[in-house]
Homo-oligomer: A and B are copies of this chain.
Amino acid sequence: MNMKATSFDIAYRAGVSQSTVSRALRNSPLVNEETRLKVQAIAKELNYKVDKNARNLRSQQSNTIALLLFEDSTSDDSQINPFFLSMLGSITRACANKGYDLLVSFQQMDNDWHAEFEDTNKADGIILLGYGDYVEYKKKLVQLHEQGTHFVRWGAEVKDMQVATLGCDNIHGGMQLTQHLMHKGREHCAFIGTASRHAPEFNDRYKGHVKALKKAGKTVDADLQVDALYTEEAGYLATKELLAQGVSFDSLFGACDLIAIGAIRAIKEHGLKIPDDVAVVGFDDIPMANFVNPPLTTAKQDTMLAGKLLVDNLLNLIAGEEPKTMLIPSQLIERGSTNI
């Protein structure tokens, strides 16, 4: 390998100034067509590539977005919720479409966030993704906000704060699922998922669930709600506990697919049939949902759209627009876990 070519090398060969090279390569209208073509030809020949560090340093922007994917340290260390993985895929694509690079970083919720990408001029803005302790989380949001960092987040709305948030319409989605269960003639629906501060999304889904019950004139039975974090194991254990208590129910709402999948395992182990004895629904529509037995009825979140909107929103924010908050509707996907 010989040395990397610089714009000066090109300038020398083209017999023009380095400034002109810079302009020609950026397709500036200020430069003569002929000159431009000559310069570009030489650049290609020398396999010249702009040094991004130099460009970014000079122009004070990076054309890069950072994605912070955070998790509770409660989750085991190798598995990321497939839903977020799917979001990651769509965000990567959306960035590529806009000509932005994506810096990905996993963070433990309880650590100091390594969120200096923007401070550090490595990124123009940040996308936040993940579940985790809400109180801890909010502290960090406030901090980011005070530093003037450009960021958008995925999730439930944060109260008392003006942050650009994109999320699924969890309340409506929860309502829809519970109505679906009632429509199938189910009377007693268990809800597995934390109402704690760890996943506000789950809480919204629960609200939707309650709303549907009330709307139908049913009473809400507190015994039927059991806390659980966002893992298959948590769903399994919570459901097992519920079954052990002898509470009776003919349907179960897992606050996310992973929980629902764990619930299915517990229900089957207990000797009950799905959907005959217990109909089950989840939330997210992760790839697995279609492959469990029986396939899981769920509320699909449109990750492709979500990724695109997150990126669009962030770029708008960077461009100086007001932070926008939006809800994306979920879509009911009926499968075997609720269809006799």
User: What is A's interface to B at a CB cutoff of 8 Å?
Assistant: 1, 4, 47, 49-54, 56-57, 62, 64, 69, 77-80, 82, 85-86, 88-90, 92-93, 96, 101-106, 114, 116-117, 119-122, 147-148, 232, 261, 287-288, 291-293, 303-304
Query: Nearest chain-B residue to A92 (Cβ)?
Result: B106
A77 and B93 CA atoms in complex are apart in Å by: 10
**Structural contact, B85 and A96, CB atoms closer than 8 A:** no
A103 and B53 CA atoms in complex are apart in Å by: 15
Contact of A62 among B47, B53, B79, B80 (CB under 8 A): B53
Query: Nearest chain-B residue to A122 (Cβ)?
Result: B52
**Structural contact, A1 and B148, CB atoms closer than 8 A:** yes
**Structural contact, A105 and B101, CB atoms closer than 8 A:** yes
**Identical chains bound together, number:** 2
Provide the residues of chain B in CB contact with A47, threshold 8 Å. 119, 147
Query: Nearest chain-B residue to A303 (Cβ)?
Result: B78
A103 and B79 CA atoms in complex are apart in Å by: 20
Besides A1-B148, A77-B93, A80-B85, 5 more A-B contacts (Cβ < 8 Å) are A50-B120, A52-B121, A53-B57, A79-B287, A291-B291
**Structural contact, B92 and A104, CB atoms closer than 8 A:** yes
Query: Nearest chain-B residue to A66 (Cβ)?
Result: B101
Nearest-neighbour CB distance to chain B for A285, whole angstroms, equals 11
Interface centre among A80, A117, A291, A292 (most CB of B within 10 A): A291
**Structural contact, A82 and B82, CB atoms closer than 8 A:** yes
**Structural contact, B89 and A96, CB atoms closer than 8 A:** no
Pick the 10 closest A-B CB pairs, nearest first.
Answer: A293-B293, A1-B148, A53-B57, A49-B119, A53-B56, A85-B85, A52-B122, A52-B120, A288-B288, A104-B104
